Structure 1
C-alpha cells in the first residue's frame, strides 16, 4: 500500500519551524540591541570621564551619567517590549493559522469519508437494478422494451463509473491505493474494459485495436483497467458529443518502453487546455452549454494512477471537434 505525505502535517511542521526560527531571530535582535545600547553608553562614559578631570566638571558629569543610564535603560525596556509584542503576535497568528488548517483538513477528511460512505451505499441498489435489468433481457422482451432496458443498463453503468471515480479519488488522496504487480496482457485488459460498457453506449462507436502481438506489461491489473476504462469512457463521451464514432487504440514496445495510444475523432478541446485537462474537476468550456457529460474526475484519476505505476501520460488536441489523443508510456521492468 502506498502512503503519501499528509500535506497538513507537513504544513504544520513548516509553521513550527518558522515559529522557532522567528523566535530565535527576535531573541537575537533583543540581545543585540541591549548589547549595542550598553556598548554605546559605556563608550560615552569612558570618553566623558577621561575628558573631565576638574571637580566642577565631575559634578556636571554625574548628572549627565545618571541621565545617560536612564536613557539607556529606557531604550532597553522599549526594545524588550517591542520584541515581546512581536513574538506574542507571531505566536498567536501562527497558532490561529495552524488551528484553521487543522480544522479545514478534518472537514475535508469528513467530506471524503462521507462521499466514500454514500458511494458504497449507492453501489448496492445500482448493482441490484443492473442485475434485474439483465434478467429481464434474458426473457427476450420485445424490441420496444429491449431498447429501454438497454438504456437503463447504460445509465446504471454511467452512474457506477462515477461512483467508482469518487471512490478512487478518495483512495488516491488518502494514500490508500494498493499495488499488486503481475504480468498482464494489454489486449486482454483492453477487451475486458470494452466489454464492461453497455451495448447501448457502444451502439454507434467503432473501436479498433492495433497492438503488437503478445504485448504485455508488469503492472497492477485492476489499476490498469481503471486507467484504460476511464480514457475509453472519455473518448466515447467525446464521440457522442461530436456525433462521431471512431476510437483507435494502438500499443507497441519501443525504446525500452510500453506505449499505449488512445485516439478519438470526437469533441476534442482547445489547444490551451493541454496542460489543464488532467486537473481535478477541470472541464473545458462553459458548463451551462456543455454537451459532453462527466464529473471532471476521470482524467484526474488517470493521471494519478499512471504516476503510481511509474508511467507518464500526455494528451493533445488540435481544437474543438478535432478529436484528441492520449499517450501513456511505461518503462519496461
Structure 2
C-alpha cells in the first residue's frame, strides 16, 4: 500500500454512512406509512428485517473505516521505517567506502590512519547497533528469545550503561548526573541492558546543547525501584506519548530527519518492561524543557526507606 492521506477513506466512509442513514430513513417512513394504510403485519415484519440489515450494514461500514485507517497508519509507519533504515545503512557504508578508498589510493600518516580506523570502527558499531535493533524487534515479535535469569547489580548496570553512552556521544562528565542506590535484580540481564541502553541512548541523542542528562534511582513501595532518565531536549508532546512506544513510530518526516534511529527502540523498551512485570511512562521535567522516562521495576534485597513506610507499619516496627 502506497502512502495515502487518511482523508480519502474517511470521506468515503462518512459519505456512505450519511447516504445509508438517509436512504434507510426514507425507506422506514415509506414502510411505516404503508403498514398504517394497509394494516398488514407483512410491512411490520419487513420493517424489522430492514432495520436489522441496516444495523449490520452500518457496523460493516464503520469497521471498514476503522480497518482502513489502521492499514494506512501501519503503511505510513513501515514506509518511515524503510526510509530510516535505508538512511542508516547508506550513511556508514558511504563513510567506510570513502575511508577505504583514501587509504588505498594515497599514503597517509600514522596519526591519520589511527583517526580513519577510529571513524571506521564507529561506523561499523553503528551498523552493528542497527542490525541488533532489527533482530531484537523480530525476536520479540516471534517470542523466540531464550532468557537466562540471573541475579545482578542493577545500580552497577545503570552506571556502566550511562558511562558507555557518555563516551560514545563524547559528552563531558559534568553534563551527566547519576544517582544510584545499591540493589539487586533477578531477571534477564540482556533484557535489562536493552531497556537501559535504549532509554539512555535516547537521552543523549535528543538532549539540548549543551546536554544535561540526569539518571536517578529511587526506591518505591513493595520492593520496586524507580529509574528516571531525563534530558534537556525538545520533549515529547503529550498527545504522542503513547504512540511513540508503537513499532516503527518516529515523530516527524524521515526526509527531514536529523537524528539517527529506526523507530524500534521504545517499542523494544515497552515490550521488555512488560515482560519484566514493570512499567514505563513519560513525564515532563519539573524545570526547563526536556523529557523524563520513568521506569518502575521489581528488585530484591531492597528495604523500603523509612519515609516511604505507611504510618501504621512504621508504628508496628517501632513497637516491635
Class of the TM-score when normalised by the shorter of the 2 chains:
0.5 to 0.7
- Counterpart of 1:167 in structure 2 is 135
SS of 1:314's equivalent in the other structure is: strand
> Given the alignment of the two structures, is residue 211 of structure 1 paired with residue 177 of structure 2, yes or no?
no
User: Using a 3 Å threshold, how does the CA distance of structure 1 residues 179 and 145 change in structure 2: closer, same or farther?
Assistant: same
Question: CA contact under 8 A between 1:205 and 1:246: conserved in structure 2?
Answer: no
- Counterpart of 1:250 in structure 2 is 216
Choose which of 120, 125, 139 in structure 2 pairs with 1:157.
125
Choose which of 230, 235, 238 in structure 2 pairs with 1:269.
235
- Counterpart of 1:64 in structure 2 is none
Question: CA contact under 8 A between 1:209 and 1:248: conserved in structure 2?
Answer: yes
User: Using a 3 Å threshold, how does the CA distance of structure 1 residues 304 and 211 change in structure 2: closer, same or farther?
Assistant: same
TM-superposed CA distance for 1:208, in Å, is 2.7
Equivalents in 2 of 1:263, 1:233: separation in Å? 11
- 1:133-159 alpha-carbon deviations (Å, 9 max, x no partner): 9xxxxxxx8555544433333332222
Gapped regions of structure 1 (runs ≥ 5): 1-110, 116-121, 134-140
SS of 2:245's equivalent in the other structure is: coil
How many aligned residue pairs are there?
Answer: 237
User: Using a 3 Å threshold, how does the CA distance of structure 1 residues 150 and 317 change in structure 2: closer, same or farther?
Assistant: farther
- 1:92-131 alpha-carbon deviations (Å, 9 max, x no partner): xxxxxxxxxxxxxxxxxxx9xxx9xxxxxx9xxx9xx9xx
Q: What is the RMSD computed on CA atoms of the aligned residues?
A: 4.9
Equivalents in 2 of 1:262, 1:143: separation in Å? 38
> Given the alignment of the two structures, is residue 183 of structure 1 paired with residue 151 of structure 2, yes or no?
yes
Equivalents in 2 of 1:210, 1:216: separation in Å? 16
Equivalents in 2 of 1:324, 1:277: separation in Å? 15
- Counterpart of 2:265 in structure 1 is 298
Look at both structures and tell me which one has the larger radius of gyration over its CA atoms.
1
**Using CA pairs below 8 Å that are at least 6 residues apart, which structure has the higher relative contact order?**
2
- Counterpart of 1:231 in structure 2 is 199
